[in-house]
Amino acid sequence: MERLLKLLEENARLSVEELAAMLSTTPEDVAARMDDYAKKGVIRGYRAMVDWEKVSTDKVQAVIELRVRPKKSHGFDEIAMAISQFDEVQSVLLMSGGYDLQLVIAGHSFQEIALFVAKRLSPMDDVLSTATHFVLRTYKKDGVMYAEEEPDEREWATL
């Protein structure tokens, strides 16, 4: 079970036949297991890892730390689900430590993210405080290296 999931996590483009060969089983068995995982919510989707810095310059990300007031009957779930509904929000994580929720937000500019925090997120009744950290560069994400080694500028000066 875990080996199939690990293979899919590393390369979701592998065909059912390739996966079956790697797992020493039949393509029908692999397809049935994948369908079962999808029905149970174990597999949440398939996606490409895109390095947006190479495609577009108008893509900004921020990590936002939130302190919130949990509800007595639902804990953090109610506020986390409400925040999850915003299109700008890519991730919502319940955290231990100095803050309660960590959000990853995407926008087209620093100002757009700042306005989202000021006008939509901060005014929510159960949000006590926010701390916004803008992502300046991605080196590694979800186990995939993004930053290519760049030549040392001092080397160019000696050529």
Q: Report the run of H or E that residue 110 belongs to, with start and end.
A: helix 110-116
Q: Give the full edge-to-edge strand order of the sheet including 127-134.
A: 89-94, 101-107, 60-68, 127-134
pLDDT at 156 exceeding the cut of 60: no
Q: Rounded mean pLDDT of 65-79?
A: 93
Q: Rounded mean pLDDT of 127-142?
A: 92
Domain covering 1-40: architecture: Orthogonal Bundle (1.10)
Domain covering 52-141: architecture: 2-Layer Sandwich (3.30)
CA distance 99 to 97: 6
| CATH 1.10.10.10 intervals, the chain | 1-40
pLDDT at 56 exceeding the cut of 80: no
Indicate the burial class of 92 (C-beta count within 10 angstroms; 0-12, 13-18, 19 or more): buried
Q: Rounded mean pLDDT of 31-55?
A: 86
CA distance 72 to 126: 12
| CATH 3.30.70.920 intervals, the chain | 52-141
- Average pLDDT of the residues of the chain: 89
Q: Return the pLDDT at 152.
A: 59
| Per-residue model confidence as pLDDT tens digits over 76-128 | 999 999 999 999 999 999 999 999 999 999 999 999 999 999 999 999 999 99
Q: Tell me the whole-structure pTM to 2 decimals.
A: 0.74
Beta-strand ranges (E) seen in 15-156 are: 60-68, 89-94, 101-107, 127-134, 140-141, 144-145
